[in-house]
């Protein structure tokens, strides 16, 4: 094996014909013999190129609706033969096998069929067999053969040939082989995951996760950690599919926090009211709805102005000029919204470091998704928490029932608590958070943190009493003791929403009755670790 190896014969068989003609023309100019199949061959011939059908090489026609065309020793032998092995060369001569130095294949559009909701039969027909087999054979023999599986690598191939007088280097073939195996791995992962879902297998024996690089990040959570951002190919609106109009490159933490913000704000139907969520370190520091987007932003900002500095802002409606003007009054890292007016874009343009991300819509808050987390030696896999509680799901457990306004705030608080790190306590008044306690080791501490924030902000706003006065409070899991509930009552809360289910539920209910609180149980918890 030598470092540089010439391209004399190429097999081009692609589903995506983008750039195929230009590639074929460039190869033909270098005297490379072109082999091809079906539609690829027709595309090349229609462009005036001389192409030999693979069926001419194998002596067998394409058959079974194209299911069988390249699965033949004269194809795989041409890809796999070691050119410096005398036995391999002798076998090629004996059986009339010509070497194939370049393979260009992209696979049947299985992922595209999945994205458009194709039925079972169509999905089966979009499972490529010959393509992955050829890719794996060619990539294995990268000492001699070059394997191209992505349209975006056509230019790199041509640049390599130009730099090396029609030859490819070993380093280039290695790199393309790695890309090729990653592609077949991701393809098989998509097929196996789809089939598990199709047959209702919720915990398959083997599970594969795959992604495609979107961005190499400067670093991870901290500067000493390497990181990259991969997409899963889904069309779900959010940070992975958003268009960034301005601002510097997103960091690892920006992406994580922006995702948290947008998933939270999507809990609020834009047809009902504008909503704004402000996130810091993946936790909400202010969430509100309002009659207008700017009102919602102001209410969210007034929950915790200190934490909002350098935060992430997510909107459930397109950004308008008035809201944009308000947002740029303080330093904000990222704004994500389902659209923006031209006037709003102009206002943001003056803030060069402010990232503006626009999406085609909001993610469906109740869509079935899979979430996973790495642990030492394995993965934890679960359904994404899309649990929903409506008015009819609530059970009043106290002597006093919540009023209509209190019920509205209780449900609002419950939606927010779902997105706060556990232990989570959320105070809400007039459809706006007024205190958020997140990630404490005890529920009592979370209640205390949230209450202290509500009191501090009241002083900052020049108000005579805490923002928590008359508020609704949500707890993401049950109160194990009455102390957390009593802390909320002392802070000024008048009603409570919690899952229930503790051995001491009656103790907590009695404490609520003694303090004049209305309380409802959801029967569902929202731990978020």
Which has the closest alpha carbon to 476: 401, 528, 430? 528
Distance CA 369, CA 193 (A): 12
Distance CA 127, CA 129 (A): 7
Catalytic residue set: 140, 281
pTM confidence score? 0.82
The 10s digit of each residue's pLDDT in 43-87 is 999 999 999 888 778 776 776 666 666 678 788 888 988 888 888
Q: Are the C-beta atoms of 58 and 78 separated by less than 8 Å? A: no
- How large is the average pLDDT for residues 423-427? 95
pLDDT at 1 over 60: no
391-521 has which fold?
Cytidine Deaminase; domain 2 (3.40.140)
DSSP string for 313-350: EEESS-B-HHHHHHHTTS-EEEEEES-B-HHHHHHHHT
**Distance from first CA to last CA of the chain, Å, rounded?**
53
Distances (CA, A) of 282 to 196, 255, 260, 411, 489: 32, 10, 6, 21, 27
What pLDDT was estimated at residue 84?
A: 85
What pLDDT was estimated at residue 302?
A: 95
The 10s digit of each residue's pLDDT in 122-149 is 999 999 888 899 999 999 999 999 999 9
What pLDDT was estimated at residue 507?
A: 93
Distance of CA 226 to the CA centre of its chain: 19
Distance CA 58, CA 69 (A): 9
Domain ranges of the chain: 4-199, 232-358, 391-521
What pLDDT was estimated at residue 69?
A: 63
What pLDDT was estimated at residue 491?
A: 93
Same fold, 232-358 and 391-521: yes
The 10s digit of each residue's pLDDT in 148-190 is 999 999 999 999 999 999 999 999 999 999 999 999 999 999 9
Distance CA 411, CA 416 (A): 9
CATH superfamily of 232-358: AICAR transformylase, duplication domain (3.40.140.20)
CA angle centred on 475, ends 469 and 480, rounded to 5°: 115
What pLDDT was estimated at residue 63?
A: 64
Distance CA 439, CA 450 (A): 11
Q: What letters, b where the CB count within 10 A reaches 16 and e where it falls short, cover 515-525?
A: bebbbbbbebb
CATH superfamily of 4-199: Methylglyoxal synthase-like domain (3.40.50.1380)
The 10s digit of each residue's pLDDT in 283-339 is 999 999 999 999 999 999 999 999 999 999 999 999 999 999 999 999 999 999 999
pLDDT at 386 over 70: yes
CB count, 10 Å around CB of 137?
19
Q: Give the best-scoring range by mean pLDDT among 186-195, 358-367, 394-403.
A: 394-403
For 479, residues 6+ apart whose C-beta sits below 8 A from its C-beta are 443, 485, 498, 502, 504, 508
């Amino acid at each position: 094996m030598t470092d540089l190896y010439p391209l004399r014969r190429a097999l081009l068989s692609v589903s995506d014909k983008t750039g195929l003609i230009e590639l074929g023309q460039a190869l033909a100019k270098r005297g490379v013999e072109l082999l091809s199949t079906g539609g690829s061959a027709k595309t090349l011939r229609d462009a005036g190129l001389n192409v030999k059908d693979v069926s001419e090489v194998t002596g067998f026609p394409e058959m079974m609706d194209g299911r069988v065309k390249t699965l033949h020793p004269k194809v795989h032998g041409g890809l796999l033969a070691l050119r410096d092995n005398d036995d391999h060369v002798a076998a090629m001569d004996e059986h009339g096998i010509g070497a194939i130095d370049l393979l260009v294949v992209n696979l049947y559009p299985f992922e595209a069929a999945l994205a458009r909701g194709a039925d079972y039969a169509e999905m089966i027909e979009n499972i490529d067999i010959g393509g992955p087999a050829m890719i794996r054979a060619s990539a294995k023999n990268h000492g001699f053969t070059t394997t191209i599986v992505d349209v975006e690598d056509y230019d790199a191939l041509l640049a390599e040939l130009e730099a090396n007088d029609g030859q490819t280097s070993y380093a280039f073939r290695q790199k393309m082989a790695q890309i090729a195996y990653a592609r077949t791995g991701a393809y098989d992962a998509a097929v196996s995951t789809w089939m598990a879902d199709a047959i209702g297998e919720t915990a398959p024996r083997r599970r594969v996760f795959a992604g495609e690089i979107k961005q190499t990040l400067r670093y991870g959570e901290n500067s000493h950690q390497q990181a990259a951002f991969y997409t899963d190919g889904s069309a779900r609106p959010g940070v992975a599919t958003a268009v960034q109009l301005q601002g510097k490159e997103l960091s690892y933490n920006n992406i994580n926090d922006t995702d948290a913000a947008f998933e939270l704000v999507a809990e609020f139907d834009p047809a009902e009211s504008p909503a704004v969520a402000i996130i810091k370190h993946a936790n909400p520091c202010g969430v509100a709805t309002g009659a207008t987007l700017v009102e919602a932003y102001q209410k969210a900002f007034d929950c915790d102005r200190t934490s909002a500095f350098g935060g992430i802002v997510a909107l459930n409606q397109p950004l308008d000029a008035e809201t944009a003007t308000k947002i740029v009054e303080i330093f904000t890292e990222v704004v994500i919204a389902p659209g923006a007016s031209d006037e709003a874009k102009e206002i943001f343009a003056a803030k060069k470091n402010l990232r503006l991300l626009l999406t085609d819509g909001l993610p469906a808050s109740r869509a079935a998704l899979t979430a996973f987390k790495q642990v030492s030696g394995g993965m934890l896999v679960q359904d994404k928490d899309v649990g929903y509680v409506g008015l009819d799901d609530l059970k009043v457990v106290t002597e006093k029932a919540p009023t209509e306004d209190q019920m509205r705030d209780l449900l609002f608080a419950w939606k927010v608590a779902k997105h706060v790190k556990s232990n989570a306590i959320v105070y809400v008044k007039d459809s706006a958070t007024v205190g958020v306690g997140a990630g404490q080791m005890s529920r009592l501490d979370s209640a205390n943190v949230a209450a202290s924030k509500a009191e501090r902000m009241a002083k900052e706003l020049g108000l005579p009493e805490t923002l928590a006065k008359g508020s609704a409070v949500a707890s993401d899991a049950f109160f194990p003791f009455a102390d957390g509930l009593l802390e909320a009552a002392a802070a000024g809360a008048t009603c409570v929403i919690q899952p229930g289910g503790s051995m001491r539920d009656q103790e907590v209910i009695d404490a609520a009755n003694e303090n004049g609180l209305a309380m409802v149980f959801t029967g569902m918890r929202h731990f978020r670790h």
